[in-house]
Structure 1
Amino acid sequence: MASINTNYGAMVAAQSLAATGRELANVQNRVTTGMKVSSAKDNGAIWAIATTQKANAKALDATINNLQRSQSINDVGLAAGESIMAALTEMKALAAAIDANSGDIGAYQADYNALKGEIDDIIADTEFDGVDALTGLTVTLTEDVATGDAVAEIDAAITAATTFLQAQGTTSKSLERQITFNTKLQDALEAGA
């Protein structure tokens, strides 16, 4: 009759080796994914929370992109508004010079018209991704600077441009804060996931 001897030490070693292999696979999975809990099997509650946090972090990508697009539109509006303000400042100086000069004003009128043309072009062409970046800014100027109404119209346009630029500047700061907040929130969600 044949007898089979059981080597209990070898069985324990084999079981220990299998457990070590499972733990090694777990550690490799964590290292590969960068997560302590990489599946519901590891810890269902934490995995569910982490999955929700990851989804929220991904949703913040769209929010941040939209805020950055808004900031770009705002920046284009600011740049255009500053260019308009510079042209208006020159136009006011020209109008004052014309009021003080009773002689030939043709050169002044030509400069004034060129600046008015610049403003008209800026207003017509200032958009970003199909969005008018100067929404809310209206500039109305006379063609003939010698009428005497030019200075009053330019003053009104400067007031409108100043109000527009103030609002754009405030919006720009607000958008920067929102982008910073959402980026930090996204980082926190990703770190906690």
Structure 2
Amino acid sequence: MTSIMTNNSAIGALATLRSINDSLDKTQNAISSGYKVKDSSDNAAYWSIATTMRSDSKAMSAVQDALGMGSAKTDTAYTGMNAAIDVVSTIKSKLVAAREPGVDKDKINKELTELKNQLGSIAKSSSFNGENWLYDNSNTAGTTQEMVGSFVRGNDGNVSVKTITFDTSKSMLINDKAAAGGLLTAGTTATYASGTTTTTGTYYLVKSTAGSGTGTEISLSSTTTSATIDGMVASVDKMLSNMTDAAATIGATKSRIDTQSNFAKNLMDTIQVGVGKLVDADMNEESTKLKALQTQQQLGIQALSIANSSSQNILSLFR
């Protein structure tokens, strides 16, 4: 049936053209924005996942910054500890030299005094952002320092921030208020040979501001006996061993922080790639689709024009 009121062909052609135009709009938006899923209306599931993972990636970026701060702290402490080990090693060699008969012990003691002052300078200056793992001036024997280590999202969707800890009581060299809290201010007991037997001696290297550590301060005078120097050498050697252990612990903490920082960076890259696979537009595919839709649009307009002209043909029946 032919009707001048209802043009079924034109209605069908118009519906087809509208569908083509809708697809063309989506393709053009994908090309201009670079996303096939830009809003939740495009794909609610993929958009939700991408939004969550982008938020987590930003959190991990903050974690990486915090790891950089933690790395700087460990670098500072490690550098200071190594410098202090060198100075204490020099003090040990000076004490061994003082064991030689006839040496001027008073002059060697002046050198020891300057080396001790250098140790104080190293410990106090090994500070980063107000934190010092080698020097303290409080009544506590060190504290546990926490550094942000990771951002974790569990299988249940709950998130948490994990930390890397370091106990500064293991690395504190000088404590000016609590002498027992410093490796150099606390008394160190060592066993050493005394004739055909062994004996023990307790000595401390640096005198704290608030008071003395346990035992006797390592200091020389013209009357210092060889046996006393032997005890000092043994105590300093044990201090060096403790400082070496502390440096190893700091180094292990630094290594863990660096490893975690590299992992966080690689994880952020992986998340970015994963999110891209969900929401990024394939430009090769979209450009091919654009060409096809533009051709379909032209054909649809032509079909609609033909459908609209059919009603005009009815006029010829009345001539």
Give per-residue Cα distances to partners, 1:45-66, cap 9 Å, x unaligned.
0010011110111111222122
Distance 1:22 1:167 in 2: 58
Q: How does 1:7-86 map to 2 (within 5 A)?
A: 15=18, 16=20, 19-29=23-33, 31=34, 35-86=35-86
Q: Please name the residue that 1:158 is paired with.
A: 240
Change (3 A) 1:145 1:64: farther
How far apart are 1:162 and its partner, in Å? 0.5
How far apart are 1:164 and its partner, in Å? 0.4
TM-score by length of 1: 0.84
How far apart are 1:120 and its partner, in Å? 1.3
Distance 2:273 2:52 in 1: 13
Q: Please name the residue that 1:129 is paired with.
A: 129
Distance 1:91 1:173 in 2: 30
How far apart are 1:145 and its partner, in Å? 3.4
Distance 1:76 1:56 in 2: 30
User: Which amino acid is 1:90 matched to?
Assistant: T
User: Which amino acid is 2:31 matched to?
Assistant: V
User: Which amino acid is 1:191 matched to?
Assistant: V
Does structure 2 conserve the Cα–Cα contact (< 8 Å) formed by 1:80 and 1:122? yes
How far apart are 1:20 and its partner, in Å? 2.5
User: Which amino acid is 2:238 matched to?
Assistant: A
Aligned-residue Cα RMSD (Å) equals: 2.5
TM-score by length of 2: 0.53
Change (3 A) 1:36 1:21: closer
Distance 1:78 1:186 in 2: 29
Contiguous gaps of at least 5 residues in structure 2: 135-167, 172-182, 186-204, 206-216, 276-319
Give per-residue Cα distances to partners, 1:58-107, cap 9 Å, x unaligned.
11122212222111111111100100011011111100001114332233
Change (3 A) 1:152 1:173: same
Q: Which residue of 250, 266, 272 maps to 1:168?
A: 250
Q: Which has the larger radius of gyration?
A: 2
Q: What fraction of aligned residue pairs are identical, expressed as a percent?
A: 22
How far apart are 1:152 and its partner, in Å? 2.5
Distance 2:22 2:271 in 1: 36
Contiguous gaps of at least 5 residues in structure 1: none
Q: Which aligned runs of 4 or more in structure 1 are off by greater than 6 angstroms?
A: none
Distance 1:162 1:38 in 2: 56
- More strand per residue: 1 or 2? 2
1:145 and 2:220 aligned: yes
- More helix per residue: 1 or 2? 1
- In the alignment of these two chains, the number of paired residues is 186
Distance 1:101 1:27 in 2: 89
User: Which amino acid is 1:145 matched to?
Assistant: L
Q: Please name the residue that 2:265 is paired with.
A: 183
